[in-house]
Amino acid sequence: MPTGLLSRLVRACIVLVLLPPAVIAPAGSASAATISIGWTRRASGLDQPVHVTAPRDGTGRIFVVEKPGRVRIFVGGKLLATPYLDIRSLVNDAGEGGLLSIAFHPDWKSVPRIWAAYVNNVGNLRVARFTASRYTANSINPSTYSKTLDVPHPDHDNHYGGQVAFGPDRYLYVSTGDGGGGGDPLNNAQSKQTLLGKILRIQVVGAMARCGRPFCIPPTNPFVTSTTAKHSIWALGLRNPWRFTFDAANGNLWIGDVGQSAQEEVDRIGPGVGGRNFGWSCREGRLAYDTSRCRSGTTYTGPVYAYGRGTGSSVVGGFVYRGTAYKSIIGGRYITGDFGSGRILVSTADGLRTRGSLSGITSFGQVGGRELWAVTISGGLYRMSASLR
């Protein structure tokens, strides 16, 4: 929807927009104008990889999630032939569905469990747990499956979100899309009575002992005492939060939210800050989208970064770089990418700026000494490097 005078007035006069300051790299780091991000391919032949991660358990293994329903291991410079996990029979990978991400138990070496987010055969986003025989095992039996959570997703096969990750608070965070279709036809993202278009926060570690269920509601969730809102909601007003990450230095939660027709956005939440509303579908990025859904008295949190179609069309969501190999060049900067344009974007005082490219990038991963890797939809696994031009 074009942004006309009425939309601008509604945005300015009715909606209170909070615009967090942009990230500034530490003093002494390289000038953003001189930074160049490069990629070295380490593996190919993966089947539509959409997530890369590692438990950082001393084994050197990198885990790659394939959309059709497998998890592969890269170690010692090669992909292992036997999948770590194969749940293709459980997964519906039509459209934007599939096996979307995994997360390792915070005490992985003593409790070798993973949580996987995937679209099941009836079309819902499901989070399920699997248990390995030991943390060093190179395969996990699908029969150890235990359902944790279902997010009903009727009508459309897009906008699932689908990221799972543990925060510094040891709670499991889950991203969900608005349910699909153009313009959030059911206004799910603004409704507290549905799990769609949200970041959820649940307790899975110690849940059975605390509440006797696969997950409990953390007592500090923002809507935990509400009689109308879903208690697992941590943040709302999101369109398709494909990837989110936690800053290893301070616990900030960074969200890449895919836009509709005009802007992509990157959002940020401080540690322990719940209840933020990022505005979709009243707003798209920093623009008004559907003014009929803007509500007087509602506070909408604006993005840290937003960019238009001249830069890209599908933000991936990345990491604040906290590795050591390129600390003097990109330490403290947010690194992300765009699936549509292949641009690699680096945070600067003036916003996100293109500093490299990687065609078809679907996800970043933080492995080893917090160095960044990435995967592409065509089947590549890459390690990132940074240099000065």
For residue range 55-77, what is the model confidence (pLDDT) as tens digits?
999 999 999 999 999 999 999 99
Q: How many domains does the chain have?
A: 1
Percent of the chain with pLDDT over 70: 93
**Residue 275 domain flag:** yes
pLDDT-derived band at 33 (thresholds 50, 70, 90) equals confident
184 lies in some domain: yes
pLDDT at residue 32 greater than cutoff 90: no
Q: Is residue 4's pLDDT more than 80?
A: no
Residue 49 sits in a domain whose CATH number is: 2.120.10.30
In a domain, residue 17? The reply is: yes
Q: Is residue 129 part of a domain?
A: yes
The pLDDT value given to residue 5: 31
Mean pLDDT on 219-226: 98
Tell me what pLDDT residue 389 has.
Answer: 86
In this prediction, residue 155 carries a pLDDT of: 87
pLDDT higher than threshold 70 for residue 51: yes
Q: Does residue 385 form part of some domain?
A: no
Instruction: Check residue 2 and give its pLDDT.
Output: 35
Quick one: pLDDT band at residue 218, thresholds 50, 70, 90? very high
Residue 14 has pLDDT above 70, yes or no: no
Average pLDDT over the chain reads 93
Q: Using one digit for the tens of pLDDT, what is the confidence trace for 308-363?
A: 999 999 999 999 999 999 999 999 999 999 999 999 999 999 999 999 999 999 99
Q: With respect to residue 331, please indicate whether it lies within any of the assigned structural domains.
A: no
Please report whether residue 134 resides in a domain.
yes
pLDDT band at 25 (very low <50, low <70, confident <90, very high): low
Is residue 7 pLDDT above 80, yes or no?
no
- What are the pLDDT digits (tens) for 130-179? 999 999 999 999 999 999 999 999 889 999 999 999 999 999 999 999 99
User: In terms of pLDDT, which residue wins out, 113 or 10?
Assistant: 113
Range of the domain at 151: 5-21+43-312
Q: How confident is the model at residue 306, as a pLDDT?
A: 98
For residue 30, the model assigns a pLDDT of 79
Evaluate whether 338 touches 311 at the Cβ level (below 8 Å).
yes
Instruction: Tell me the pLDDT tens digit for each residue of 64-111.
Output: 999 999 999 999 999 999 999 999 999 999 999 999 999 999 999 999
Q: Does 351 map to a domain?
A: no
> In the chain, how long is the greatest CA-to-CA distance?
61
